[in-house]
Amino acid sequence: MWRFLRRWWLSWQKPKMTAALHQFNERMLIQTQRGTHTEFMESLSPSEARAYLEAFDRWLVRENPQATDQDYYWRSMLMSYFFPDPKLEEADLKRAVALDPGNVDIWVSLGHMAAERKQWSEAIEYYEAGIKARPRNFFPWYGRARVYMELRRFEESLRDINIAIEIHPSLAYGYETRGRIYDAMGEMEKAVADLDFAVQCSAARPYTQRFRNELRKKLQRENSHGR
């Protein structure tokens, strides 16, 4: 609620590009060249995020004609990670994509939001728009693969995650997702092989190893019963 009230109060003022916003943009450009957008968000403290968000609020008022799709996109990212407000986040993303329909990151973010609400058809549409915008980007293929997996459309899910892995063969969660698809399809040996690779990746998540270990035990039991 405080975010809405703050935006309403600022709407009476003129857009202002503050030093904090200049700092955010410089820091964002440097750190996103080294890593992912998620890693950049995780590098910020809550106090930094609040200061940057206030800077964006001062800039994005009165539908500022100087504002870019990136301004709206990064404000939505800051809210999503630190001060969640789905309605405001979605409004910013839709403003962003109206300014640049070719920005794949915005389509992927909209797809993730729809998927979290279990609005599967809408999520697929957003991911497909992302694929159209940048066919060689990992994330819309990965996002659509996850949706198809939730819908138990495993062949389509496997097709999409294979394309995602071909595009970016070093991301742990691509192999983790394919491992989960193979597990759902009853192909446990393939699932364990993918999860083994995912566990070895530097960005592997703790529960990936737990899931891999559970599948290994399950596979061992099945093999022992089959003897």
pLDDT tens-digit profile of 50-67? 999 999 999 998 889 999
pLDDT of residue 225: 64
pLDDT of residue 164: 97
Percentage with pLDDT > 70 across the chain: 92
pLDDT tier, 182 (very low <50, low <70, confident <90, very high otherwise): very high
Q: In whole angstroms, what is the distance from residue 59 CA to residue 23 CA?
A: 14
Closest CA to 48 of 17, 81, 15, 70: 81
Q: What is the pTM of this model?
A: 0.86
Average pLDDT over residues 123-133: 98
